[in-house]
């Protein structure tokens, strides 16, 4: 056995400064995991970092198992090469007895290696630092979708009382999709943490409804009627004003302060109604208003309404989902429950809290 053995070292490590942040971007199967497993080996061999101080997190349990197996196998290959005295050619590490001992120690404690999913890492830190994270000492993990479903049904009972403004929208969505599909859709948006595009805005939609032309505007002497008469030709000259007149009562009711959501439902019904030629009212009107320069201000009003009015599900994502989430959070905090994704947000909150600096210092001490 030689005193020093050359072990193959991936040339890409020459491009990685271990004192800085690095992003490795590559397609599947092109060597990201290979690079990472050898980066761990480099930290152990060349920088003398104990394996327990190298934090490796990944997204899935499967990826974690693969990473653990590959890091362990890479460490074993180094020991095998040293014990057999097999030198590698090209870029390599010089493994001496001290480096061999560090690799052997890493293998001896490998079961304690902090290689895990992001969620498991967060859960471990929260559990081990319950005081710093301001968490209960005993908490129970619950299934995310079940917990959401309970909060959804509880909030639905409140939202379906007679004087609840959102009730017409909920009833429309439930009739169209069914309660089960509505719950599933809202749960997906809860997981997404985003908002539909275009995003519903009650303030903008209400202003856009009020800005629609009324019966006076569309009467024989009305400004909008004269503009349409001048700018449109033949059939559209007859069709567009007729379809706009059907909307006039909505605009007038909005201006007098009528309940908003029933008016929004009326607009949706008008917008989706098909006229001759398999064209919806909204599609037909937008098409012809957009063709004439003189009608551009009117076209812009309809575009603003189309963008802000959204859909039944979009309204419920904006208006009902935050209520469900508030109920869900309150319920979990009261009962000491947390779900899978709470692991991330709880650690985030702890790091940003008043005592977060001490927790950051502890994590930096533990994981170099």
Query: Tell me: the pLDDT tens digits for 51-64?
Result: 999 999 998 999 99
90-99 mean pLDDT: 91
Region 334-348 average pLDDT: 84
pLDDT value of position 134: 61
* Confidence (pLDDT) at 265: 95
What are 116's strand-pairing partners? 57
Residue 41: give its domain's CATH number: 3.40.50.300
Q: Which of 63, 95, 113 is the last residue of a domain?
A: 113
Please state the rounded mean pLDDT for residues 124-140: 71
> Which residue, 309, 332, 355, sits at the end of a domain?
309
In angstroms, rounded to a whole number, what is the distance separating the alpha carbons of residues 181 and 79?
56
Asked if residue 251 has pLDDT above 60, the reply is yes
**Token pair of 72 as six digits:** 């362990």
The chain-wide mean pLDDT, for the chain, equals 89
Question: Which whole number is the average pLDDT over 117-141?
Answer: 77
Q: What are 347's two structure tokens?
A: 């650690």
pLDDT of residue 343: 85
In a domain, 180, yes or no: no
At residue 24, what are phi and psi to the nearest 5 degrees? Answer: -110, 115
Please report which confidence band the pLDDT of residue 315 belongs to, taking 50, 70 and 90 as the band edges. Answer: very high
pLDDT at 326 > cutoff 70 = yes
160 falls within a domain? no
The span from the CA of 109 to the CA of 250, in Å, is 72
Cβ-contact 206, 308 below 8 angstroms: no
Residues whose CB falls within 8 Å of the CB of residue 85, separated by 6 or more in sequence, listed in order: 1, 2, 5
Residue 334 lies in a domain: no
Q: What is the pLDDT of residue 138?
A: 67
pLDDT band for position 133 (50/70/90)? low
Alpha helices, DSSP H, located in 113-166: 118-128, 144-159
For residue 98, name the pLDDT band (cuts at 50, 70, 90): very high
pLDDT band at 104 (very low <50, low <70, confident <90, very high): very high
In a domain, 293, yes or no: yes
The verdict on residue 246 lying in a domain is: yes
In a domain, 287, yes or no: yes
- State how many domains the chain has: 2
Query: Does residue 224 lie within any of the structural domains?
Result: yes
Cis link prior to 198 (omega < 30° from 0)? yes
- Which pLDDT score is estimated for 302? 84
pLDDT tens profile 14-52: 998 878 898 888 888 888 899 999 999 999 999 999 999
Provide the 10 A C-beta neighbour count for residue 143.
Answer: 10
**Structure confidence by residue, pLDDT tens digits, 205-248:** 999 999 989 899 888 888 888 888 888 887 888 888 888 898 89
Do residues 367 and 53 make contact, with C-beta atoms less than 8 angstroms apart? yes
Residue 156 lies in a domain: no
> CA 364 to CA 124: how far, in whole Å?
15
285 within 8 A of 243, measured Cβ to Cβ: yes
Q: Which residues contact 41 (CB under 8 A, 6 or more apart)?
A: 71, 74, 75, 78, 93, 103
- Last residue of one domain, picked from the residues 81, 113, 145: 113
Mean pLDDT of 8-14: 91
**117 φ, ψ (degrees, to nearest 5):** -70, 160
**CA dist., res. 45 & res. 96, Å (int):** 10
> pLDDT-based confidence at 345, cuts 50/70/90?
confident
pLDDT of residue 341: 81
pLDDT at 137: 57
The parent domain of residue 238 ranges over: 202-309
């Amino acid at each position: 056995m030689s005193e020093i053995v050359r072990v193959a070292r991936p040339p890409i490590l020459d491009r990685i400064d271990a004192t800085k942040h690095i992003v490795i971007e590559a397609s599947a199967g092109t060597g990201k995991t290979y690079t990472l497993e050898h980066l761990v080996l480099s930290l152990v061999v060349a920088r003398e970092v104990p394996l327990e101080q190298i934090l490796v997190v990944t997204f899935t349990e499967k990826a974690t198992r693969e990473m653990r197996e590959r890091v362990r196998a890479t460490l074993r290959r180094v020991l095998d090469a040293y014990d057999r005295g097999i030198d590698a050619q090209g870029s390599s590490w010089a493994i001496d007895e001290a480096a061999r001992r560090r690799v052997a120690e890493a293998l001896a404690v490998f079961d304690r290696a902090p290689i895990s999913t992001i969620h498991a890492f967060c859960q471990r830190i929260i559990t081990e630092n319950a005081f710093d994270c301001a968490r209960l000492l005993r908490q129970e993990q619950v299934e995310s979708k079940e917990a959401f479903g309970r909060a959804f049904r509880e909030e639905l009972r409140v939202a379906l009382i007679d004087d609840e403004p959102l009730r017409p929208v909920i009833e429309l969505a439930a009739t169209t999709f069914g309660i089960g599909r509505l719950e599933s859709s809202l749960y997906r948006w809860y997981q997404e943490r985003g908002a539909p595009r275009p995003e519903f805005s009650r303030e903008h939609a209400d202003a856009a409804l009020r800005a629609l032309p009324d019966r006076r505007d569309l009467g024989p002497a009305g400004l909008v009627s004269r503009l349409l008469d001048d700018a449109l030709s033949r059939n559209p000259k007859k069709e567009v004003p007729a379809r706009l007149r059907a909307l006039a009562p909505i605009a007038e009711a909005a201006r007098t302060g009528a309940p908003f959501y029933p008016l929004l439902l009326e607009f949706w019904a008008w917008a989706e109604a098909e006229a001759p030629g398999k064209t919806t009212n909204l599609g037909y009107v937008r098409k012809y208003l957009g063709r004439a320069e003189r009608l551009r201000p009117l076209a812009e009003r309809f575009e603003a309404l189309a963008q802000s009015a959204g859909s039944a599900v979009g309204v419920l994502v904006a208006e009902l989902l935050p209520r469900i989430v508030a109920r869900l959070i309150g319920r979990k905090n009261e009962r000491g429950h947390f779900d899978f994704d709470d692991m991330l947000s709880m650690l985030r909150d702890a790091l940003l809290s008043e005592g977060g600096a001490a927790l950051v210092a502890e994590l930096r001490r533990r994981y170099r």
